[in-house]
Structure 1
Amino acid sequence: MISMLLRVLGDRYARPVRRTVALMTMTAVVEGLSYALLVPVLRALFGDAPGDARPWLVAFGAAVAVYAVLRYVSDLSGFRVGTTLLRGMYYRLGDHLARLPVGWYGPRRVGEVSVLAGRGVLQAMSAIAHLLGPLVSACATPLTIVAVMLAFDWRMGLAALLAVPAVALIQVRAGRATAAADAERADRDHEAAARVIEYVQAQPVLRAGGRTAERFGMLDDALRGLQRASRRSLVSALPGVLGLTLTVQAVFTALLALGAYLALGGDIGAADLLAILVLAARCADPLLSLSEIGGKLRGARAELARLDAVLGAEPLPEPREPVRPRHHGLEFDSVVFRHGDRTVLDGVSLSVPEGRRLAVVGPSGAGKSTLLQLVARFYDVDSGAVRMGGADVRDISTDVLMSRIAVVFQDVYLFDGTIEENVRLGRPGASEAEVRAAASAARLDEVVGRLPGGWAAHVGEGGELLSGGERQRVSIARALLKDAPVVLLDEVTSALDPVNEAAVHDGVERLVAGRTVVMVAHRMRTVRRADHVVFLDGGRIVEEGAHDELLRRGGRYAGFWELSTNPVPAGPRAEARP
């Protein structure tokens, strides 16, 4: 548990954790030793001179006071370290998630990461603050008491010592018996969380389909599965709890019988027997708490294992000796990219000279958006190379590469904040005049002028308080403010009304002026402005050339152009019957 915790947290936090564990262990040992003073106290009280118990009572009180101080300090240290680790874990997890390739975020990752970043991290890190102290006390205090019992009477001590392997064996077996059930319950928990998120996101579709009064079958199944898994987890834990309880009670009964036998034979005094039985009874409470602590620790360990797996996911490697691009032209050299078993791009080779515009067109699923993602290094190619300024993007540091690229996607995500804060993401240190100029060029100032609050207007989570066209203007203003020499556009007007489309087109024209541009075009009117056009289909370049040249050839591009500019009319309506 501790080794996994330190591995998840990294070397930075190893020393305070070890110091806290050592302090908790010392506290537990002092607690056990303080009970040793009960033996001379009881001897004196049941002897011929009860008054002799006074100094031992004072010593016992002093020992308890020392234990109380150590317990306070160790608990405080545990809480402080736990809080520090929690904050550090969130930072480390966030930094790591930001460096993972986009392909890592599969369909189930949203629910998994949301549970992990919320309850998972909190449960794992709370082990230091809430579970580590009781665990150390439940282990170290009984062992110390057993050592004290051995010192006063080796026979009683040895009998108590025989219980140690039995308790350890029960705990190990209980952990193994519940491991599968706990893992299933955690998986069901994550699946249910993913289904809840899916259910919330699918509300427009469900309501449009008139299914608001129905239950969501997949969510119900996930919740029922979670209920069954939780029940199995509880049932699997019962044998361990009962076994530990029976073992502790049996050992105490055996000590009582042995003590009575020795006392009747005159081998041990009544006061010593009573003191040893008091010590044995004091061992029972922490031992019995091992079942509850063990269950919580298994849960924390499971979350730690998931954190370890996420943190073990390999990010895209950074170059050891990064190079800087000599210019801002782009080149795709025999690029092959696979996603799972599917080949998305197969031997794509093309170049985009600095300051020129490349338009990529083709049917859905042809690999158009993947080209943009490879330039931005959201993924690495399987073979071939993507170069900027003659340098492989894998040999350029991430900071340098992203500083030279502005990306405007079709689906714009805005953070819950003001319009100005979302625009400033492009360049946080920009002056107010630069922000206003970028907004004016993107015609975002028209949106700001009609919103209550102006620049301080909140956009809501994901930009839900703005329309699609308004969000797109924010995205273009952000890209303009960044002022990067390479611009990647994933058709930004395909779902806009004519007014917003015209405004966005004006902003795009200002954005791409004088820059190297790769644009994915769904609406063909944007293609005319490109210097070079590539038609992709099935991950391969089918045709390429200038717009007018491709139209004259009468090939795939010309047919695509004809369909986009002259849509196929609907079939004739059936005549109404008299």
Structure 2
Amino acid sequence: MIKRLLQIWPHGRMLNMLTGRYVVIGVLQGCLLVTIIPLLRAVLATPPDLDAAVRWLGVVVVLGFAYLAGVSWAKALGYRTANEIMRDLQHDVGRHLRRLPLGWFVGNPSGRLARAVAQSTPSAASVVSHVWPELVQSIATPATVVAGVFFIDWRMGVAFLVTVPAAMIVTRWSGPVVRDTQGIMDDASAEAAGRAIEFAQAQPVFRSTGRALEGFAPMERALDEQRRTFRSALTRLTVPQLVYVGVVQLGFTIVLITGTWLALGGELTVPDVVALLVLATRFVEPLAQVGNLFGAIRSADIAVERVSEVLTAAPLPEPGTSAPPATAEIEFDDVTFSYDGRPVLRELSLTIPAGAMTALVGPSGAGKTTLLRLIARFWDVDSGAVRIGGTDVRDLASGDLMDQMSIVFQDNYLFDGTIEENVRLAAPDATDEQVREAVTAARLDEVVERLPDGWQARVGEGGLSLSGGERQRVAIARALLKDTPIVLLDEVTAALDPENEAAVAAGMSALAARGKTIVVIAHRLSTVVNADQIAVIDAGTVIELGTHDELIERRGRYAGFYAERSRAAGWRITSGPR
């Protein structure tokens, strides 16, 4: 675990200092225990040797104060080291997340990432402040005791020592079992955490549909699986724990039998036997603790591994030099792309003219969203190239690429702040006039006027205080305020009521009026018909391309799509014939 930790937190000198301090206090504690033997020998002698007892009592007191001072000295460094580890790892994770491509977040559930940042880093830090020091001390103390006992009687020393290799063998045997079990338990906990977050975020939906009291099946399944996993894990862990406890108790029994045998043979005095048996009980305690500490170490190893998975995730290659593209034209040149081994795009070529609106239509799973994400370089293509203004997106620095575009997703996330703060996120230095202009163009001002706190109305975590359409208005206002050459819109009008659809459409029109290159995935006829170019995507390639009128005349796939949507738009629900 320490080796893995040093790979992501390379400050071995501080850990070596901490280990050294706990070795010292472990030796001090062992010496303190060993001095019990001459102290009891002097007290139990016939007659008692009071002078020797006083001298050894003085040694015990001195060692006791030295031990307490050493504990304070070591813990001060331990807490400081733990705080630095937690601070550094959390900052490193935050900095590294900013370097990772957006595609990395698509495949990593929020629950796992939250556990890595909020739980795994404190777990790694607590091991350094508590578990690792206790483990070092629990090894150093028995080792010192064994060395001291050898000076009194080598046979008793062997009796004390015989437990150690057996305990080490059991610990090594149980290590993989503990680690695998902890990994399974951590996976189950991460899934349950993710579903709990999802359940909390979806409360407005549940309550609006009258299912608030019915529970959330995915979360219930995750919690059930977590309980089953924990029960199974505890069963697996019981056997190694019992074996280890049995070995330690067997060692104590061997010490007891050896001491009794030597006493009956007259080779050890009664005071020595009593002292050694008292020492044996104190010897067994830290040795028994080692088993529990190794389990905690294995658990912490999983936590460190979770953090390491984030910190070692490879960002996409960055070019040595980068310059903003000359135009906002987007070109897909013979692009092939697979996601998790599943082909998504196949030798797709498409040119999206600058300053025009291009609509992407096609069945679900055809690759439309992937096209938008490749423009934003969520991932790199398998072959071919995606270019902006003739420049491959791989030759643009991430900052330069993001400066060229605004992205409005179907489900936009808002931070738990005011409406104004969420809009200003796109351009913190924008003037009040620029913010108001963007808000008005997106018709977000209508929402602001309805809210009691106006601009200072808080949107709640994830924007849950606003409706889906209102959140889209905020996202459109952001795009208008950022004022980038390219705007990517991913089904922004899907499932909106007529009022919000009209408001979002007005925002899109405002973007188009500014001469932006707009790429929109759309199912609403109004959006599709008004596009300057329509690309029909199916099975990962472009099967039709043209304007609305041109595609209707061809009587191909788009014409069928348009006819189907037109019929659906004409449906009405009535109460019966009148």
**TM norm. shorter chain > 0.5:** yes
For residues 254 and 487 of structure 2, the distance between their equivalents in structure 1, rounded to whole angstroms, comes to 80
For the pair 1:41 / 2:73, whether they are aligned, the reply is no
For residues 71 and 348 of structure 1, the distance between their equivalents in structure 2, rounded to whole angstroms, comes to 67
Supply the AA of the counterpart residue of 1:35.
L
Q: Which residue of 2 aligns with 1:350?
A: 350
1:184-237, CA deviations, whole angstroms, 9 ceiling, x for partnerless residues?
A: 444443444445455556767777887766676665554444334323333333
Q: For structure 2, which runs of at least 5 residues remain unmatched after alignment?
A: none
Supply the AA of the counterpart residue of 1:421.
E
Q: Which residue of 2 aligns with 1:535?
A: 536
Counterpart contact for 2:332–2:350, Cα < 8 Å: yes
Counterpart contact for 2:18–2:133, Cα < 8 Å: no
For residues 265 and 213 of structure 1, the distance between their equivalents in structure 2, rounded to whole angstroms, comes to 76
Tell me, what secondary structure is at the counterpart of 2:316? coil
1:513-570, CA deviations, whole angstroms, 9 ceiling, x for partnerless residues?
A: 1333322232233345544332222222222234444444444334434444454766
For residues 172 and 352 of structure 1, the distance between their equivalents in structure 2, rounded to whole angstroms, comes to 61
Q: Which residue of 2 aligns with 1:297?
A: 297
1:73-121, CA deviations, whole angstroms, 9 ceiling, x for partnerless residues?
A: 3223323322332333333334444544555556882443344444444
The alpha-carbon distance between structure 1 residues 196 and 516, as it changes in their structure 2 partners (threshold 3 A), is: closer
1:302-313 alignment to 2 at 5 Å? 302-313=302-313
For the pair 1:71 / 2:71, whether they are aligned, the reply is yes
Counterpart contact for 2:9–2:89, Cα < 8 Å: no
Q: Which residue of 1 aligns with 2:473?
A: 473
1:485-564 alignment to 2 at 5 Å? 485-512=485-512, 513-527=514-528, 529-564=530-565
Q: Which residue of 1 aligns with 2:23?
A: 25
For the pair 1:421 / 2:421, whether they are aligned, the reply is yes
Counterpart contact for 2:323–2:400, Cα < 8 Å: no
For residues 455 and 271 of structure 1, the distance between their equivalents in structure 2, rounded to whole angstroms, comes to 83
For the pair 1:159 / 2:147, whether they are aligned, the reply is no
For residues 546 and 483 of structure 1, the distance between their equivalents in structure 2, rounded to whole angstroms, comes to 26
For residues 308 and 101 of structure 1, the distance between their equivalents in structure 2, rounded to whole angstroms, comes to 17
For the pair 1:52 / 2:52, whether they are aligned, the reply is yes
Counterpart contact for 2:415–2:422, Cα < 8 Å: yes
The alpha-carbon distance between structure 1 residues 256 and 535, as it changes in their structure 2 partners (threshold 3 A), is: closer
Q: How far is 1:420 from its partner?
A: 1.5
Counterpart contact for 1:438–1:480, Cα < 8 Å: yes
The alpha-carbon distance between structure 1 residues 436 and 58, as it changes in their structure 2 partners (threshold 3 A), is: farther
Q: Which residue of 1 aligns with 2:126?
A: 126
The alpha-carbon distance between structure 1 residues 478 and 207, as it changes in their structure 2 partners (threshold 3 A), is: closer
For the pair 1:234 / 2:234, whether they are aligned, the reply is yes
**Which region of structure 1 is more displaced relative to structure 2, 35-44 or 102-111?**
102-111
For residues 400 and 213 of structure 2, the distance between their equivalents in structure 1, rounded to whole angstroms, comes to 52
Counterpart contact for 1:415–1:463, Cα < 8 Å: yes
Counterpart contact for 2:331–2:386, Cα < 8 Å: yes
For the pair 1:334 / 2:328, whether they are aligned, the reply is no
Q: Which residue of 2 aligns with 1:10?
A: 9
Counterpart contact for 1:416–1:463, Cα < 8 Å: yes
For residues 298 and 393 of structure 2, the distance between their equivalents in structure 1, rounded to whole angstroms, comes to 43
Counterpart contact for 1:45–1:51, Cα < 8 Å: no
The alpha-carbon distance between structure 1 residues 3 and 327, as it changes in their structure 2 partners (threshold 3 A), is: same
For the pair 1:61 / 2:77, whether they are aligned, the reply is no
For residues 554 and 234 of structure 1, the distance between their equivalents in structure 2, rounded to whole angstroms, comes to 65
Counterpart contact for 1:442–1:503, Cα < 8 Å: yes
Q: Which residue of 2 aligns with 1:141?
A: 141
Counterpart contact for 1:369–1:520, Cα < 8 Å: yes
Tell me, what secondary structure is at the counterpart of 1:484? coil
Counterpart contact for 1:240–1:291, Cα < 8 Å: no
**Which region of structure 1 is more displaced relative to structure 2, 399-408 or 485-494?**
485-494
Counterpart contact for 1:323–1:391, Cα < 8 Å: no
Counterpart contact for 1:189–1:226, Cα < 8 Å: yes
Q: Number of matched residues?
A: 574
Q: Which residue of 2 aligns with 1:403?
A: 403
For residues 90 and 505 of structure 1, the distance between their equivalents in structure 2, rounded to whole angstroms, comes to 41
Counterpart contact for 2:104–2:378, Cα < 8 Å: no
Counterpart contact for 2:529–2:548, Cα < 8 Å: yes
The alpha-carbon distance between structure 1 residues 162 and 363, as it changes in their structure 2 partners (threshold 3 A), is: closer
For residues 116 and 71 of structure 1, the distance between their equivalents in structure 2, rounded to whole angstroms, comes to 31
Tell me, what secondary structure is at the counterpart of 1:289? helix
Q: How far is 1:267 from its partner?
A: 4.2
Supply the AA of the counterpart residue of 2:558.
Y
Q: How far is 1:269 from its partner?
A: 4.4
Supply the AA of the counterpart residue of 1:10.
W
Counterpart contact for 2:86–2:122, Cα < 8 Å: yes
For residues 40 and 114 of structure 1, the distance between their equivalents in structure 2, rounded to whole angstroms, comes to 56
Q: How far is 1:402 from its partner?
A: 0.9
Root-mean-square deviation (Å): 3.3
Q: Which residue of 2 aligns with 1:325?
A: 325
**Which region of structure 1 is more displaced relative to structure 2, 138-147 or 285-294?**
285-294
Supply the AA of the counterpart residue of 2:32.
S
Tell me, what secondary structure is at the counterpart of 1:314? coil
For residues 323 and 17 of structure 2, the distance between their equivalents in structure 1, rounded to whole angstroms, comes to 43
For residues 198 and 448 of structure 2, the distance between their equivalents in structure 1, rounded to whole angstroms, comes to 33
The alpha-carbon distance between structure 1 residues 428 and 194, as it changes in their structure 2 partners (threshold 3 A), is: same
Aligned residues with identical type, % of pairs: 44
Q: Which residue of 1 aligns with 2:360?
A: 360
1:289-330, CA deviations, whole angstroms, 9 ceiling, x for partnerless residues?
A: 223323333322233333334444433333355554344332
For residues 357 and 422 of structure 2, the distance between their equivalents in structure 1, rounded to whole angstroms, comes to 27
For residues 179 and 497 of structure 1, the distance between their equivalents in structure 2, rounded to whole angstroms, comes to 51
For residues 339 and 256 of structure 2, the distance between their equivalents in structure 1, rounded to whole angstroms, comes to 69
The alpha-carbon distance between structure 1 residues 29 and 344, as it changes in their structure 2 partners (threshold 3 A), is: same
1:205-220 alignment to 2 at 5 Å? 219-220=219-220
Q: How far is 1:27 from its partner?
A: 2.0
Counterpart contact for 1:447–1:470, Cα < 8 Å: yes
Supply the AA of the counterpart residue of 1:422.
N
For residues 496 and 211 of structure 1, the distance between their equivalents in structure 2, rounded to whole angstroms, comes to 21
The alpha-carbon distance between structure 1 residues 189 and 494, as it changes in their structure 2 partners (threshold 3 A), is: closer
Tell me, what secondary structure is at the counterpart of 1:493? coil
Counterpart contact for 1:167–1:244, Cα < 8 Å: yes
